[in-house]
């Protein structure tokens, strides 16, 4: 009988090692994480890039206000300076500059209305104001825009906190799963200890 008990205990130990809830839960977490981790990385990169674009947009608008006050500078000169000082928005500004040389009116209409080019629509709109209307009035509009930009950014930040959306839900889900894993791990360890005490 003692020999049979030893064999049974050995088999139970192997089965428990292979099919324990702890291991199954760990595999499940790894599989689920493999689906979400790439999305989290891409989401983070996209958000960082979006913030950098907003900062560059504000920088270029401030630059436009400074160099636009020069009465002798032309629209082409303004575009060249903006393009040379841009990084993320440089490709779009270069496309606008090329379109401007071909057909000025169509270039303005295209880059101010096209959703794919919204990143520079404010810059293009201000540039058109400087070129078409009273330059002093246009520069005053830029100053007003700069004064309101802090309020806009604060509202956007508050909206991000209030929305929370997918990322917070994902973190909550991962936290819940990890907590369940700890509970199951503790329960399995307790059962194993009780079994060892009996045998």
Q: Domain map of the chain by residue range?
A: 28-189
List, for residues 83-141, the tens digit of each pLDDT value: 999 999 999 999 999 999 999 889 888 888 877 777 888 888 888 888 876 667 777 77
Q: What is the pLDDT of residues 44-77, one digit of tens each?
A: 788 788 888 888 888 888 888 788 777 677 888 8
Residues with Cβ within 8 Å of residue 31, at least 6 apart in sequence: none
56-94 b/e (C-beta count within 10 Å ≥ 16 → b): bbbebbebbbeebeeeeeeeeebbebbbeebeebeebbe
CB 96 within 8 A of CB 108: no
Q: Is the pTM of this model over 0.85?
A: no
* Residue 83: C-alpha distances to residues 24, 26, 86, 196 (Å): 56, 51, 5, 74
**In which element (H, E) is residue 127 found?**
helix 121-132
Q: What digits encode the pLDDT tens for the residues 137-193?
A: 777 777 776 666 666 666 665 555 555 555 666 666 776 776 676 666 666 666 565
Task: Report how far residue 68's alpha carbon sits from residue 63's, in angstroms, rounded to the nearest whole number.
Answer: 8
What contacts 102, CB < 8 A, 6 or more positions away? none
Contact 91, 111 (CB under 8 A): no
What is the DSSP code (8-state) at residue 103? -
């Amino acid at each position: 009988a003692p020999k049979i008990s030893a064999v049974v205990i050995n088999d139970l130990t192997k089965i428990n090692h292979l099919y324990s809830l702890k291991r199954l839960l760990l595999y499940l977490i790894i599989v689920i994480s493999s689906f979400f981790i790439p999305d989290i990385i891409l989401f983070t990169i996209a958000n960082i890039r979006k913030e950098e674009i907003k900062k560059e947009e504000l920088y270029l608008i401030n630059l436009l206000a400074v160099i636009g006050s020069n009465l002798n500078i032309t629209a082409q000169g303004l575009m060249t300076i903006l393009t040379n000082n841009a990084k993320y928005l440089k490709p779009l500004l270069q496309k606008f500059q090329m379109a401007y040389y071909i057909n000025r009116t169509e270039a303005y209409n295209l880059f101010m209305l096209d959703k794919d080019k919204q990143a520079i629509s404010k810059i293009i709109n201000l540039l058109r104001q400087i070129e078409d209307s009273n330059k002093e009035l246009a520069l005053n509009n830029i100053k007003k825009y700069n004064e309101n930009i802090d309020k806009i950014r604060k509202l956007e930040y508050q909206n991000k906190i209030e929305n929370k959306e997918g990322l917070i839900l994902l973190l909550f889900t991962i936290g819940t799963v990890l907590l369940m894993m700890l509970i199951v791990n503790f329960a399995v360890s307790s059962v194993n200890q009780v079994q060892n005490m009996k045998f």
